[in-house]
Amino acid sequence: MVVGYRDYDILKLKKNNLEIENQKLKEQLASALNQQSEEQHHWHRRIQLPEIEEEDLCSEVLSIANKFMYMSLLWLEQPDITFEMELDDEYDPHD
């Protein structure tokens, strides 16, 4: 089959249009999947926390939350093992 320059240009234009349409459809699919995921997993939304007016209490809560976050990052990968461990005698929760 012999294809002339004009035919080649037309085919190339059709190919480019199909690629653009394909990209738009992929974006629509990704958007729909993201929206569906957000609807199913509403816990992803940031929870509005109450403000703590007392500075000392606020500092203590933040400190405890930070300790928990770091500890959970280290140990909660294996919760069965984590919660079977005994407390260390030298552990002081006020450190």
pLDDT tens per residue, range 3-48: 677 888 899 999 999 999 999 999 999 888 888 776 666 555 566 7
The domain total for the chain is 2
CA distance 60 to 52: 11
Residue ranges making up the domain that contains 5: 1-47
Among 31-35, 44-48, 56-60, 69-73, where is mean pLDDT lowest?
44-48
Question: Is 66 in the same domain as 88?
Answer: yes
Question: Is 31 in the same domain as 53?
Answer: no
- The residue assigned the tokens 């976050």 is 69
Question: Is 78 in the same domain as 68?
Answer: yes
Question: Is 63 in the same domain as 33?
Answer: no
Q: Please name the amino acid found at residue 10.
A: I
Does residue 76 sit in helix, strand or coil?
coil
With 90 as the cut, is the pLDDT of residue 61 above it? no
Question: Is 62 in the same domain as 94?
Answer: yes
Question: Is 28 in the same domain as 54?
Answer: no
pTM, two decimals, is: 0.38
With 60 as the cut, is the pLDDT of residue 1 above it? no
Question: Is 36 in the same domain as 65?
Answer: no
Question: Is 34 in the same domain as 72?
Answer: no
Structure tokens at 22: 């394909």
